[in-house]
Amino acid sequence: MSLNTPQEQQVTNKFRTSACAFALMIMLSACGGSGSDTTSQPTNETPDTAQPSEKVEIILADNEFLYTAHALNVGGGAMNVGEQGFEQDQYYSSGNMVRSTKAISDTSADSFYQTSREGNMRYKLPVANGEYYVAFHFAETTYSEAGKRQMDIDMEGVNVLTNLDIFEEVGANKPYVYQSNLIAVSDGELNIQFTGNLGSAKVSGLHVTRILNKTADNDNDGVENINDACPFTVAQELDLVDNTGCAVPPIPEKEKAFVEKEGLVVINLTETDYPSQWHVKSDTNAASGQYLVWMGADAFNSPGQGVIPIKVKITNPGTYRVEWHNIVGHGTQPTEHNDSWLRINADNFYATKPNSVVCPNGKPVTNQCVGKAPHGSSKNGWFKVYRSGDVTQWKWAGWTSDNDAHAIHADFDHAGEYLIEIAGRSKHHGIARVILFRTLNNDGNDVNRHDAIDLSLEQSARQ
């Protein structure tokens, strides 16, 4: 085997760590966790790794540690080797997965070395620009003599190993680790090419590491490198990064909250995260031209079927009335296919008519409602919300209590985010739009109902 070690990649420092100790050190360095800054003497105790053939000199000052950029269990799934976690095999092109059942000596990590990828193959690992070490993990589980398998390895177009013969290095069914010198990456991608000269190229694991300053903040996200699980996250907005320094996945649009503005929230129901029992239909007379119709089974006494969760962000606390633009989607009877369930986790969720208040049955203790029970169905904090009148017409409605209509209201005592839930009750009931408009506060900031039910209004912004 020929080792190609460009002089410009040599590393020198006060910490001169043998390749064996360095291999063990990288195996135990956690992603973003506390890496090694040890001054311990080299050791031959390698319980979960093998001894590379060459010594590596590396700088680790008191304020530095090794960060794991990638650790791949090549040919296998995610697993831990000692304290080091390895991801499942990914970022590769070509090559075949190979699994052996032969016992691997000199290690307790048999399963790690029993899986591999073989053939002419390339790995393209996404990394931040900079200089990296790569530890290559091998075990010869096929051949029992030298000269049967020889391979070249190139990184970033630079040949780092020529005619590597794993058996010649350590024999059969034993772990072998080759630790590279530093390799520079300038395009955000570490390219590793494996080429078989005799037989197929083969590798069982890749461990990519980088030296970082403990107290620095490479990505300027307010988390020091030593505590940063993602030290190269580019944070355009700090609220998109969690307290471990990693980017928070963007919230899907349909899961964002509808933001109240000037006392009004407008929600097109087809723009929510609705379950499959609700079907989308089109009608030019419906608000926004589309609506959801409940096609699940009737749920007259079992609220909570096909729940549509809707988050709203209230900026102007107070009392709000709730209505929806809805249609009877089947039949000719105004009292059939005309209702759905509604629940709001407001400070007070209730319904009123002059001199009367009704509260949902089974309301949670957080609901401050004081009143009587509604006529008809109500359970677990849900109101049955119905409409009446001509079944061929779209109507705004928000009534509960059978034959004793009370208008639905919610009190939001504080600015913040609240949850609205709509669930199926009567099959074929269709809802196009839900509105919440500020009313009964008598403080000059209420919204006129005539303005709130205007079908030309745009949907509320989301965040």
Same domain flag for 437 and 300: yes
Token pair for residue 296?
């699940």
Give yes or no for residue 396 having a pLDDT over 70: yes
Residue that terminates a domain, selected from 214, 237, 269: 214
Same domain flag for 208 and 258: no
Q: What is the pLDDT of residues 99-153, one digit of tens each?
A: 999 999 999 999 999 999 999 999 999 999 999 999 999 999 999 999 999 999 9
Structural domain of 90:
2-214
Q: What is the pLDDT of residues 227-256, one digit of tens each?
A: 998 998 765 544 567 778 887 777 889 999
Residue that terminates a domain, selected from 185, 214, 243: 214
CA distance 275 to 207: 42
> Per the domain annotation, does 318 fall within a domain?
yes
Same domain flag for 396 and 304: yes
Mean pLDDT of 172-184: 95
Same domain flag for 284 and 187: no
Same domain flag for 264 and 338: yes
Same domain flag for 148 and 259: no
Contacts of 184 (CB under 8 A, 6+ apart): 130, 131, 156
CA distance 210 to 32: 11
Q: What CATH code is carried by the domain that includes residue 6? A: 2.60.120.430
> Per the domain annotation, does 366 fall within a domain?
yes
Same domain flag for 136 and 70: yes
What pLDDT sits at residue 210?
96
Q: What is the pLDDT of residues 35-61, one digit of tens each?
A: 333 322 222 333 343 344 454 666 789
pTM of whole model > 0.75?
no
Same domain flag for 337 and 446: yes
Number of domains in the chain: 2
Q: What CATH code is carried by the domain that includes residue 388? A: 2.60.120.260
> Per the domain annotation, does 230 fall within a domain?
no
> Per the domain annotation, does 329 fall within a domain?
yes
> Per the domain annotation, does 299 fall within a domain?
yes
> Per the domain annotation, does 239 fall within a domain?
no
Contacts of 454 (CB under 8 A, 6+ apart): none
* Residue 379 three-state SS: strand
What pLDDT sits at residue 46?
35
Same domain flag for 332 and 265: yes
What pLDDT sits at residue 1?
63
Same domain flag for 274 and 166: no
Residue that terminates a domain, selected from 214, 246, 263: 214
Q: What is the pLDDT of residues 285-322, one digit of tens each?
A: 999 999 999 999 999 999 999 999 999 999 999 999 99
CA distance 194 to 161: 10
Same domain flag for 265 and 352: yes
> Per the domain annotation, does 225 fall within a domain?
no
CA distance 74 to 90: 8
Same domain flag for 182 and 301: no
pLDDT confidence of 8, banded at 50, 70, 90?
Answer: very low
> Per the domain annotation, does 236 fall within a domain?
no
